[in-house]
Amino acid sequence: MERTYKIAVIAGDGTGPEVIREGLKVLDAVSDRCGFSVERIPYDLGGERYLKTGETLPDSVLSELKRLSAIYLGAIGHPEVKPGILEQGILLKLRFELDQYINLRPVKLYPGVWTPLKDKTPEQIDFVVVRENTEGLYAGIGGNFKKGTPDEVAVQMDVNTRKGVERCIRYACELTRSQGRKKLTLCAKTNVLTYAHDLWTRVFEEVGKEYPDISRDYSHVDALVMWMVKSPEVFDVIVTNNLFGDIITDLGAMIQGGLGIAAGANINPKGVSMFEPIGGSAPKYAGQGAINPLAAIVALSMMLDHLGEREAAGLVEEAVKRVTATKVKSLAAGKMGYTTSEVGDLVVEALRADAAQKTSL
């Protein structure tokens, strides 16, 4: 029987629809080639819908999403909507409600891509960040007291549960093993966050002992960002909390050449996962064909891998590598030497050429 997947497509705001269109083009090509089929179900969540109807993520949509194979997301964020509404009402709500407790963000320099780190090569910038994705300071627990007065107090709680920390660390151990990697670094701040990060340290040691093949390493977050710039080759897999993961993966995106190629996966290993380019909606580039779709295409490759379509995932990633190595001049919007849609075409072309070559062997 043919393998079939039902994919929710949330193209979203700004340049989201443009990059998702290219991703879907690549999906069509690779599904043809690898013999599976995809039913796409579009959802118009985002700033426009909110401005028209006041809705962010209705419960009815959420329950539909729970029945699908995966979600392919463009970007959420609209210049006319107050910051926070769409992020919390759509993106974070999806992560929390679907219990996507891992945010997986590979930091990988593709061949031919310029990095601001002098003399670093693709062999030296290749690690994965496993970011806890449903707790920490993102839990939204806190409040104000005497708001708006000189005596105002604002409290925002950093929530770290044993269950949440353990499943995140366990996932990171499993990933390290399954990707044939060797070292797992815990990124925290144990010298200051003596309660929360003591929990992370203890769980890291306990769970880590079950994986004797993985070497364990620790770095304070402030030192870690320094090493990310100076010697990125020391990292293999990094596991960290929600906020630190958010921050260090933006730095990661820069050292791998920019947001034009940085992709991420919000994973619930037993539920519905969501795949996205990690850059925002970039409204100033919307409609110009200037934005780079490679991040969305790499996110697609991660989705295929997650669905178990390993061959397809590999073909897409190889095609992206070929395009970065031989075609695009720069990853930056407007400087690629091609339009958004032409870059999508180049990936499809590279994929077909690669697939044809593999068939003839």
Query: What residues make contact with ligand IPM under the rule CB under 6 A?
Result: 87, 91-92, 246, 278
Residue nearest to ligand IPM (CB): 87
Query: Which tokens go with 63?
Result: 């329950």
Contact 283, 292 (CB under 8 A): no
Least distance between ligand IPM and beta carbon 39 (Å): 27
Secondary structure (3-state) at 98 = coil
Residue 55, contacted partner among Mn ion, ligand IPM, none, CB below 5-8 A by kind = none
Closer to ligand IPM by CB, 208 or 257: give it: 257
Residue 87, contacted partner among Mn ion, ligand IPM, none, CB below 5-8 A by kind = ligand IPM
Closer to ligand IPM by CB, 91 or 333: give it: 91
Instruction: Tell me the one-letter amino acid at 305.
Output: D
Residue 317, contacted partner among Mn ion, ligand IPM, none, CB below 5-8 A by kind = none
Least distance between Mn ion and beta carbon 276 (Å): 11
Contact 232, 194 (CB under 8 A): no
Which phi and psi angles does 128 have, rounded to 5°?
Answer: -125, 135
Contacts (CB under 5 A) with Mn ion, residues 221-280: 246
Q: Exposed, middle or buried by CB within 10 Å (0-12, 13-18, 19+), for 178?
A: exposed
Least distance between ligand IPM and beta carbon 262 (Å): 10
Residue 174, contacted partner among ligand IPM, Mn ion, none, CB below 5-8 A by kind = none
Cα distance from N-terminal residue to C-terminal residue, the chain:
27
Query: Which tokens go with 245?
Result: 């993961």
Closer to Mn ion by CB, 277 or 344: give it: 277
Between CA 274 and CA 267 the distance in angstroms is 6
Closer to Mn ion by CB, 31 or 273: give it: 273
Between CA 231 and CA 124 the distance in angstroms is 8
Q: Please report, as ranges, the residues that interact with Mn ion according to CB under 5 A.
A: 246
